[in-house]
Amino acid sequence: MAEPNILFLMTDQQRWDAMSCSSDWVRTPNLDRIASEGVRFTRCITTTPICVPARVTLATGRYPHNNSVWTNVNYTLPPDGPSWIRVVRDCGYRTSLFGKTHLHPHQGDLREKENLLHAYGLDDVDEIGGPRASAVVMSHMTARWSDRGLLEGYRADFAERFANKPHVVRPSTLPLDEYADVYVGQQAKRYLESYRRDEPWFCWVSFGGPHEPWDAPEPYASMYEPTAMPKPVIRPEDDHPRPQGWLDFHMERSSPAFESTDAEDMRANYAGNVSLIDDQIGEILDVIEERGELSNTVVAFTSDHGEMNGDWGLIYKMNFLNGALRVPLIVRTPDTLAAGGGVENNDLVENMDLGPTLVDLAGGELEHRQFGRSLIPAISGELHDEPHREDALSEFRGEFMLMADRWKMAVNREGETYLLFDLHEDPDETRNLAGLTEYRAVEDELRLRMLERISKTQLKEPLP
């Protein structure tokens, strides 16, 4: 059989539970189909719960403590820096991107930066900024908005939202066919419809949603009833002394003033945006099926990080709690399709494990030092009773989080434990055990494991 095509689907700010194959509050029949024909990893975490570091880590297989990219900064991934996408291209694939990368600053005109993306390993490119950036940067998409008299209305709506109530819920000023996630899906669809090259294709479809603002267009804005949405996780009371960390500062500084139905309204609109993206994914899958290629196409899906959507009284991400940390990850291959699919894998995985997985499926080999682990042994059953990872690591603003089978711990910049959850007894994270004497031994053990992980993932060669 010829080398498989590869469809890499990615969203921005999608929680792990925002799929109907993992929850009951949002309908995603096309993602469900991919899961039913592949393997869904139920315990995937982002290596860092914020956009730029997460995407740099995903592209390089290197943690923030390797890349020195800890938060959203004006960082450009070097043209000759490590990139698994370049390895896929070197395996003989024609590579393409439609949507957001955020591997370089969202400034100026993205159309003038295509050579940079070519250097990363992407042959055919139609890059957009995210929802926020699209109010200030130019791209093929925003130029079209301008030509159609839509750009100034988008900019005015964006400015009003964030000048008053950033979590306001109302439909976009854009018509459905011009909404950014529809643009991305349709551009990818047209590209694949017209693909006539001899090489197998690798297509990265990187949606900017369901990242805020909560502006899903109609009919998706009204698709879900807010009262049917799950209630947010209530922020627990601090009932004992403990060290403080970024989350404490973030809650004190950034907790929005919610009105009575804000969380439910946000979740309903967010669910509508997820379903919109799912419909676009369905149209792309239909094109691949019409081409007669779906049975020999790898489909992989993940997100860069989650969205709190009112949990703990917070919006956005930038913390180590479930809503921001846990993301979906699905891999469907010709082999999983032939085997019947529908497998749920409960191992701990990190979303940067997807890069080496796709390189393996393309028949390539990563030569640069990186710390993603191919999921192929877990997908094929080669691991048997061995887990893919014993623990999972995430980092943000100089802080670290380690998740083991039962425990989840975060330390502040001084190395003090400020979050500790028993995931077996408290999966919703409603009781913070950090600082309690009876859990000091647990903290000590996890801290040693964390230090071991960090020490084993240091780069010996200088960064490019």
Q: Is the pLDDT of residue 228 over 60?
A: yes
Q: For 337-368, what is each residue's pLDDT tens digit?
A: 999 989 999 999 999 999 999 999 999 999 99
Give me the mean pLDDT over the 287-291 stretch.
Answer: 98
Q: What's the CA gap between 445 and 235, in Å, rounded?
A: 27
Q: For 116-130, what is each residue's pLDDT tens digit?
A: 999 999 999 999 999
Q: What's the CA gap between 117 and 123, in Å, rounded?
A: 8
Q: Record the pTM.
A: 0.96
Residue 464: pLDDT band (50, 70, 90) is very low
Q: Please, which residues have CB within 8 angstroms of residue 122's CB and are 6 or more apart in sequence? A: 85, 89, 95, 96, 97, 204
> Residue 213, preceding bond cis, omega within 30 degrees?
yes
Q: What is the pLDDT of residue 386?
A: 87
Q: For 317-332, what is each residue's pLDDT tens digit?
A: 999 999 999 999 999 9
Residue 257: pLDDT band (50, 70, 90) is confident
Give me the mean pLDDT over the 93-105 stretch.
Answer: 96
Average pLDDT, the chain: 95
Q: What's the CA gap between 160 and 424, in Å, rounded?
A: 43
Q: What is the pLDDT of residue 342?
A: 93
Give me the mean pLDDT over the 274-288 stretch.
Answer: 98
C-alpha distances in Å from residue 392, one per residue of 56, 114, 241: 18, 34, 27
Q: What's the CA gap between 302 and 207, in Å, rounded?
A: 11
Give me the mean pLDDT over the 167-172 stretch.
Answer: 96
Give me the mean pLDDT over the 42-48 stretch.
Answer: 97
Give me the mean pLDDT over the 233-239 stretch.
Answer: 91
| Rounded percentage of the chain residues whose pLDDT exceeds 70 | 98
Residue 1: pLDDT band (50, 70, 90) is low
Q: What is the pLDDT of residue 462?
A: 46
Paired strand residues for 392: 403
Q: Is the pLDDT of residue 333 over 90?
A: yes
**How many residues are given for the chain?**
464
Q: What is the pLDDT of residue 325?
A: 98
248-251-254-259 Cα dihedral, nearest 10 degrees: -170
Q: Please, which residues have CB within 8 angstroms of residue 287's CB and are 6 or more apart in sequence? A: 189, 192, 193
Give the architecture (CATH level 2) of 5-390.
3-Layer(aba) Sandwich (3.40)
Q: What is the pLDDT of residue 463?
A: 47
Q: Is the pLDDT of residue 459 over 90?
A: no
Give me the mean pLDDT over the 209-222 stretch.
Answer: 97
Q: What's the CA gap between 294 and 337, in Å, rounded?
A: 10
Residue 357 CB coordination number (10 Å): 25
Q: Please, which residues have CB within 8 angstroms of residue 345's CB and are 6 or more apart in sequence? A: 39, 40, 41, 42, 378, 379, 388
Q: Is the pLDDT of residue 169 over 60?
A: yes
Which pairing describes strands 94-99 and 201-210: parallel, antiparallel, or unpaired? Answer: parallel
Q: What is the pLDDT of residue 69?
A: 87
